Amino acid sequence: MLWTILAVLLVLWVLGLATSYTMGGFIHLLLVLAVVVILFRVLRGGRGIA
């Protein structure tokens, strides 16, 4: 599930950078937040990313 969200955010981030500076910044922020959440779950030792 998180990998799907990460992939969607990555695509939106690239589209945002290509079309609009402000939207690209917003998508970049969302992408960074998604990576932080994934790292937090991995370091916390949960049941993994499914």
Q: Of the candidates 4, 3, 27, 2, which has an alpha carbon nearest to the alpha carbon of residue 14? A: 27
Question: Model confidence over 1-47: pLDDT tens digits?
Answer: 777 888 887 887 777 666 666 666 676 777 788 888 888 888 887 66
pTM greater than 0.85: no
Type of residue numbered 35: V
- Alpha-carbon Rg for the chain, nearest whole angstrom, is 12
Chain centroid to Cα 2, Å, comes to: 9
pLDDT tops 60 at residue 49: no
* For the chain, domain boundaries: 2-44
